[in-house]
Amino acid sequence: MNKHVLVTGGAGYIGSHTALHLVESGYDVVVLDNLYSGHRWATPDGAEFYQGNIHDQDLVGEIIRKCNIDSVIHFAGHIVVPESVGNPAKYYQNNVIGSLNLINACIANNVSQFVFSSSAAVYGIPEFCPVSENVDPQPINPYGATKLMTEWALRDFSAATRPFNYIALRYFNVAGAHIGGGLGQATPEATHLIKVACQTACGTRPHLSIFGDDYPTADGSCIRDYIHVDDLAAAHLDALLYLSNGGESTVLNCGYGHGFSVKQVIDCVKTVSNVDFEVKIEPRRAGDAPELIADNKKIKRVLNWQPQHNDLATICRSAYLWEKKLHAGKII
């Protein structure tokens, strides 16, 4: 089994959790991060760190050769949907061109296994839920489009370059913090619901906004599939094992297969925090699907992925306890 892994964006939220799981599982881990939204302290002990950019093919190639890298997990991308609409050039430059530079460096240096951090945003507003990998992707913003373009590039490179194989993991709504308590989301200006709700419970924000309460759902608010970050990190290790055992390139949804509404999530955060914070109803945001839930049968079959934290209260509690540490200044 290949054990030398380069994690791009490994000082960010999901990347740092995955790097920690890799170190704890005995991998030799190298993190490459430009610290745009990541933090040096989030890199786990035992991982080697390089500050740099995926656009720098010479640096990437040097790291691969020096550290005997045989697998890459690629997280280094911009992820804010509204920003992608307002500044698409930033997203195409980093998410597409940066990824192409990284893929080229991998192939030039005989790295044959690649795990890509993709997104359910490639689906846009699906006609049916749960949504499976067989659905024709229809992204509705540059963020989703750039993720899909990178998937296409990986598909074409894999077909043309043997034995280069990849797995693209399409994340649904990632949330929570490491169950061990020492790691969590510290992304500047985060927009994810559970993170924002926990910030509001801690007093960092004056109120929480619900964007639309007139959707065709039971309580009028949007429904999403929330996945604990530790379970998502574990999926990346399962993906590496699958590829190292000769698995073929594929695309997989990462979600639990069921959802909760915005109002249900807010109520859960209020319960675990014991804080009754203010909630305001705002107009709908353009492009929000009423419901987005993963069909996760394929990832369970292909990777034998077995999530351990499939519980909304667990997700919200871990996120809140982490946010309390941040709010109190107890993080390095």
Contact assessment for residue 2 and residue 217, using Cβ atoms and an 8 Å cutoff: no
Q: What was the pLDDT predicted at 308?
A: 97
Strand spans (E) along 156-224: 165-171, 173-175, 208-211, 223-224
Q: Write down the pLDDT at residue 177.
A: 98
Residue 184 confidence (pLDDT): 96
Q: Are 104 and 146 in contact (CB under 8 A)?
A: no
Residues 6+ apart with CB under 8 A from 76: 8, 9, 12, 15, 32, 33, 34, 54, 94, 98, 102
One-letter amino acid identity for 167? I
Whether omega for the bond prior to residue 163 falls within 30 degrees of 0, making it cis, is yes
Q: Mind listing the pLDDT tens digit of every residue in the chain (332 residues)?
A: 569 999 999 999 999 999 999 999 999 999 999 999 999 999 999 999 999 999 999 999 999 999 999 999 999 999 988 899 999 999 999 999 999 999 999 999 999 999 999 999 999 999 999 999 999 999 999 999 999 999 999 999 999 998 999 999 999 999 999 998 889 999 877 889 999 999 999 999 999 999 999 999 999 999 999 999 999 999 999 999 999 999 999 999 999 999 999 999 999 999 999 999 999 999 998 878 899 999 999 999 999 999 999 999 999 999 999 999 998 888 75
Residue 245, judged by CB atoms within 10 A of its CB (0-12, 13-18, 19+), counts as exposed
Tokens 């020492």 -> residue: 182
143 catalytically annotated: yes
Residue 181 is predicted with a pLDDT of 87
Contacts of 304 (CB under 8 A, 6+ apart): 238
CB-based contact 195:213 (threshold 8 Å)? no
Structure token pair of residue 134? 């067989």
- Give the helix/strand (H/E) hosting 318: helix 312-327
Report whether 64 contacts 6 (CB < 8 A).
yes
> What DSSP string runs through 99-158?
HHHHHHHHHHTT--EEEEEEEGGGG-S-SSSSBPTTSPP---SHHHHHHHHHHHHHHHHH
- Domains of the chain: residue spans and CATH: 4-175+226-254 (3.40.50.720), 193-224+257-294+308-327 (3.90.25.10)
- What per-residue confidence (pLDDT) applies to 332? 59
Q: What is the DSSP string of 52-88?
A: --TT-HHHHHHHHHHTT--EEEE------HHHHHH-H
Output the pLDDT for position 2: 60
CA 98, CA 104: separation in Å to the nearest integer? 10
Give first-to-last CA distance, the chain, whole Å. Answer: 35
Phi–psi pair at 256, nearest 5 degrees: -90, -15
Q: pTM score, two decimals?
A: 0.96
Gap between the Cα atoms of 48 and 67, Å rounded: 9
Neighbours of 297 (CB within 10 A): 13
Name the one residue in this structure whose structure tokens are 């992304």: 187
Copy the structure tokens of residue 138. Answer: 């229809």
- Residue 300 exposed, middle or buried by CB count within 10 Å (0-12, 13-18, 19+): middle
Cα separation, 213 vs 258, whole angstroms: 20
Catalytic residue among 50, 143, 171, 242: 143
What is the structure's pLDDT at 270?
98
